[in-house]
Structure 1
Amino acid sequence: MWLKAGLGIAALAVGRTKGTYLAAQYHRLRPRRGEKRTIVAVAHSMLVSAYHMLANDVPYQDLGPDYITRLGEERHRRRLLAQLGALGYDVTLERRQTALATLARASKIMAPTSYLPGRSTDCPTRRKLTEP
């Protein structure tokens, strides 16, 4: 009984953190499942993680908040390669330089540095909208 309550409180607390796999899981599940079921799901993930850490004698390694996104992208790539292979094509993939530059540019726009909210010239996204 005490373990269940402790894990529930820890799951609720981890939902308020930023930049962790469990926080991303919490925020991904909450709109679909509701508060209570999300807490139980995150607590279950914490318990399974603790079991594996104790059983294998390894430290905790956070997967990162973008783990599901990266995993989905890799699965999508593998599925498309398998489909092309089934059609008789041999394909090798390499990332284009323009795609890397676009990703770098997008990350700079999406994560602006500190600025004063009242001044439109200090915010990179507002500056882009106001310039002709």
Structure 2
Amino acid sequence: MAAFGATRTKDSFLQARYKRRTLRRGLIKALVVIEHSITIAVWHMLHDPMPYHELGGSYLTQRDPERAARRSVSWLNEIGYRVTLDPMEAAG
């Protein structure tokens, strides 16, 4: 039940992970992945006395932006769009 509640929390790491896993594995298996993530987080909080640190919903995109871009382009190609990327110039 905790995994189901965690997947409905807006802009959280667990919700973002659930959404990504449901595309590949289905709803039930994605919930099991989230349950495992919660179990690992609880173990770390009990083993090393430290509070839970929420990474945020955009953590996976910020960690590897090129991978996120490739995933988005491949998804658009699958649904019938031809995409070319033109990077913006860095500000400053």
- Structure-2-length-normalised TM-score: 0.70
Structure 1 segments of 4 or more deviating over 4 A? none
Tell me the equivalent position of 1:56.
48
Aligned residues, how many? 71
Q: Give 1:13 shift.
A: 1.3
Unmatched tracts of structure 1, length 5 or more: 1-8, 76-94, 99-132
- Structure-1-length-normalised TM-score: 0.50
Structure whose CA Rg is larger: 1
Q: Give 1:97 shift.
A: 1.5
> RMSD of the TM alignment (CA)?
2.0
One-letter code aligned to 1:25: R
Tell me the equivalent position of 2:61.
69
Tell me the equivalent position of 1:118.
none
Tell me the equivalent position of 2:91.
97
Identity of aligned residues (%): 37
Q: Give 1:73 shift.
A: 2.7
* Cα offsets for 1:75-112 (capped at 9, x unmatched): 8xxxxxxxxxxxxxxxxxxx7217xxxxxxxxxxxxxx
Q: Give 1:31 shift.
A: 1.8
Higher RCO (C-alpha under 8 Å, 6+ residues apart): 2
